[in-house]
Amino acid sequence: MTETLENLLHESRRFVPPPQLASAANVTAGAYDEAAADRLAFWDRQARRLDWAQEWTRTLDWSDAPFARWFVGGRLNVAHNCVDRHVAAGLGDRVALFWEGEPGDTRVITYAELGVMVRQAANALTDLGVGSTDRVAIYLPMIPEAVVAMLACARIGATHSVVFGGFSAEALSGRIIDAGAKVVITADGGYRRGRPSGLKSIVDEALTRCPVVEHTLVVRRTGQDVGWTAGRDLWWHDTVATASDLHEAQPFDAEHPLFILYTSGTTAHPKGILHTTGGYLTQAAYTHHAVFDLKPGTDVFWCTADVGWVTGHSYIAYGPLANGATQVMYEGTPDTPHQGRFWELIEKYRVTILYTAPTAIRTFAKWGDDIPAQFDLTSLRLLGSVGEPINPEAWMWYREQIGGDRCPVVDTWWQTETGGIMISPLPGVTRCKPGSAMRPLPGITADVVDDAGASVPAGGGGFLVLREPWPGMLRTIWGDDQRFRDTYWSRFGTGTSAPGSGARAANGGGTALAEHGWVYFAGDGAKRDEDGDLWLLGRVDDVMLVSGHNISTTEVESALVSHPAVAEAAVVGATDPITGQAIVAFTIPLGDVDTAGEAGEKLLAELRRHVADTLGPIAKPRQILLVGELPKTRSGKIMRRLLRDVAEHRSLGDVTTLQDSTVMDLIATKMDEPH
């Protein structure tokens, strides 16, 4: 991936922070220098945002790399930090959650009320025999009990494993078995797209294969009929709501396992990413404070992710609550009952900070500018994006149509594995470029390297790596240390020469850490531009090799999306006898674009020309198909693997993580039409 097209991503637009935001920003430019001067001392100070029952004796122990220990010897309780300490500080009446159900029912929960719910749930779990050496699976819709269940586990030191409520019985049972969960917390069902969908029935099916599960705890949400296994199944309202609300939180070791979260992955056996207590919470809290400039008591923060994904863990449950934020939490889909639902909620709750995904932004753009224009969005002051590369045109649309051309847009790069945001603008400091995540945050060291692991110069492209351990880093893959080494630490650096040998770093976590030689391979392609700013180019598996040139799918997609007739695009490399791989693009036209007959043919020719004009003739797609939808994972990432199958006329691979499986049939039909 060393060779890149010279004229890719020529983006000259710059957006400076609004002066008012800059002058009152939580974090200013000095933070970069401060962290560069002494990175561990910097993280040490950030850890002091939290309440510790016992001080740590050492910030980082890297002597058993790549297995890190942060804040060694420190002890704290996560639930105390996210709830009790705010109440103790006199903020019990502050709203923690403005919850909105999809059908329009609402709940307002203060920090004091959240504290009662968490303590009751902690007591109920303890009564069921759950303790600090156990795992609990959580399979819930987006209701406040999901956050309560997570915090209750954290409070008693039980490790939670949240499984997204859209996953099948098979996916759920696999995760329950891998984690060895003893209790499953679920609901009768939840509302999605205007209908109640069943969850308990899926748990029942999953549990036929999971003999280790002793109990289920079931929240009544929809009131639908459910199957019941006496002795095993318990209603939340009978068990939790009647439990004592007195519960003293015990502190746990900084490295106590907080949660396991399975990456959706494309392989049959998903990876259980393990996060621990002190370092994870430090990074979640610091990044939420720095990147979103949160002013507790004034701001209303809304992260639209599901708690089943890492974004929901770090930026609904842990970061915001540790910072005493007031949040909106929404159960349903953005188009139920109408396509203005998100904007209606922003107007209703006067949301000031919105954090959502490029897939949602491109969908909103496709639905039309007139929809958000019907709502008062003037409360917004900051916008965030996460999950995929954001195309410059989608970034501009977000800024202009949602942010009124006044709100900074922060494009935040990170992963389930990193625990918290790693690369992002600072909203009060950075002169943003549309489509770039810009720089690593203070305290984070990222680099772009070539095949041999050498840093590429400005203007070069390659693999994104992280050169220093960070507090929120995954500690291992649950039950599989070797896979942890192989997947993340064996591609470059020290791990390359001695994979799995248990080689000890010479340096025991002192200051000259760069010499330790362990390099984390993120699996993403990236480019460093002339100013040193970073552009994320998607998963390296998705990079195409066309006539000897490496071309990233992201760049061709961005070129297509920059055409006024295009709402969204997904690009893949299909085997080609002449060029090795050839570019095939699947493109969703904007709603009002005429694609019938000759007009459609003209548009296709124009789009091919447009890509060639933007990126150079080498990037011209061999074929462009106009489609109605694209295959996406349940967290909204485009599944290029399936499109490659279609483009190469293969039968489809595993489609179980697909959001809507009918989409692929429609696309496959298109592919077989004469063109």
Tokens of 225: 């009929």
What DSSP element (H or E) covers 219?
Answer: strand 215-219
Give residues 417-456 in contact with ligand 6R9 (rule: CB under 6 A): 437
Q: How many CB atoms are located within 10 Å of the residue 672 CB? A: 9
Minimum gap (Å) between residue 402 Cβ and ligand 6R9: 17
Reduce the DSSP state of residue 623 to 3 states and report it: strand
Give residues 130-189 in contact with ligand 6R9 (rule: CB under 6 A). none
The CA distance from 380 to 392, in Å, is 21
Residue 596, classed as helix, strand or coil, is coil
Do 79 and 250 touch, CB atoms closer than 8 A? no
Q: Rounded to the nearest whole angstrom, what is the least distance from the CB of residue 290 to ligand 6R9 in the complex?
A: 16
Query: In this chain, which of 86, 313, 433, 539 binds ligand 6R9, going by CB under 6 A?
Result: 539
* Secondary structure in 3-state letters for 551-581: ECHHHHHHHHHCCCCEEEEEEEEEEECCCEE
Q: Which helix (H) or strand (E) holds 196?
A: strand 195-198
- Please report, as residue ranges, which positions from 564 to 583 form the binding site for ligand 6R9 (by CB under 6 A): none
Helix (H) or strand (E) holding 215: strand 215-219
CB of 583 vs ligand 6R9, minimal distance in Å: 20
**Contact pick of 186, 277, 635, 657 for ligand 6R9 (by CB under 6 A):** 635
- How far is Cα 439 from Cα 549, in angstroms, rounded to an integer? 26
CA 208 vs. chain centroid, Å, equals 31
Q: Which of 375, 378, 384 is nearest to 345 (CA)?
A: 375
134, 253, 299, 411: residue in contact with ligand 6R9 (rule CB under 6 A): 411
Count of residues interacting with ligand 6R9 (CB under 6 A): 22
- Per DSSP, the three-state class of 638 is strand
Annotated binding site for Mg(2+): 561, 563, 566
Nearest-approach distance from CB 15 to ligand 6R9, in angstroms: 17
The nearest distance, CB 263 to ligand 6R9, in angstroms, is: 6
Encoded tokens for 462: 């390659």
Length of the chain: 675
**Can you say which residues are annotated as belonging to the binding site for CoA?**
192-195, 311, 547
Burial class (CB in 10 A: 0-12, 13-18, 19+), 613: exposed
Residue 119 CA to residue 128 CA, distance in Å, equals 14
Taking the C-alpha atoms of residue 127 and residue 114, their distance in angstroms, rounded to an integer, is: 20
Binders of ligand 6R9 in range 84-103 (CB under 6 A): none
Q: Which stretch binds ligand 6R9 (CB under 6 A): 108-116, 165-173, 382-390, 562-570?
A: 382-390
CB 349 within 8 Å of CB 329:
no
Select the residue interacting with ligand 6R9 from 95, 176, 310, 438 (CB under 6 A).
Answer: 310
386 binds ligand 6R9 (CB under 6 A): yes
**Stretch of 8-16, 34-42, 305-313, 509-517 lying at the interface with ligand 6R9 (CB under 6 A):** 305-313
In DSSP notation, 25-72 reads -SS-THHHHHHHH-HHHHHHHHHTTS--SB--SEEEE-TTTTS-EEEE
Question: Which segment (157-165, 208-216, 303-311, 446-454) binds ligand 6R9 by CB under 6 A?
Answer: 303-311
The verdict on whether omega for the bond into residue 337 sits within 30 degrees of 0, i.e. cis, is: yes
| Burial of residue 246, with CB atoms counted within 10 A of its CB: 0-12 exposed, 13-18 middle, 19 or more buried | exposed
Distances (CA, A) of 91 to 80, 110, 204, 250, 316: 14, 9, 41, 22, 19
Binder among 111, 414, 488, 520 for ligand 6R9 (CB under 6 A): 414
Which position among 120, 276, 416, 552 is part of the footprint of ligand 6R9 (CB under 6 A)? 416
Among 252, 397, 413, 586, binds ligand 6R9 (CB under 6 A): 413
Q: Binding site for ATP, residues?
A: 387-389, 411-416, 524, 539
In whole angstroms, the minimum distance from the beta carbon of 83 to ligand 6R9 comes to 24
Which residue's CB is nearer to ligand 6R9, number 309 or number 364? 309
Question: Taking phi first (over 0 means left), then psi (-120 to 50 degrees means alpha), and beta for anything else, what does residue 443 get?
Answer: left
Using rule CB under 6 A, residue 387 touches ligand 6R9: yes
Q: Which stretch binds ligand 6R9 (CB under 6 A): 46-54, 96-104, 521-529, 611-619?
A: 521-529
Q: Does 388 bind ligand 6R9 (CB under 6 A)?
A: yes
Least CB distance from residue 19 to ligand 6R9, whole Å? 26
Query: Which DSSP letter does residue 453 get?
Result: S
The identity of residue 485, as a single letter, is R
| Piece of the chain touching ligand 6R9 by CB under 6 A; list 11-19, 104-112, 146-154, 387-395 | 387-395
Q: Binding pattern to ligand 6R9, positions 260-279, x when CB under 6 A?
A: ---x----------------
Choices 132-140, 226-234, 407-415, 609-617; region in contact with ligand 6R9 by CB under 6 A: 407-415
Whichever of 115 and 279 has its CB closer to ligand 6R9, that residue is 279
Closer residue to ligand 6R9 in complex, CB, 120/416: 416
Answer whether 596's CB lies under 8 Å from 589's CB. Answer: no
Query: Least distance (Å) from ligand 6R9 to the CB of residue 112?
Result: 31
Q: Which CB sits closer to ligand 6R9, 461 or 538?
A: 538
Shorter beta-carbon distance to ligand 6R9: residue 86 or 313: 313
Contact residues for ligand 6R9, defined by CB under 6 A: 263, 309-311, 386-389, 411-416, 437, 522-524, 536, 538-539, 635
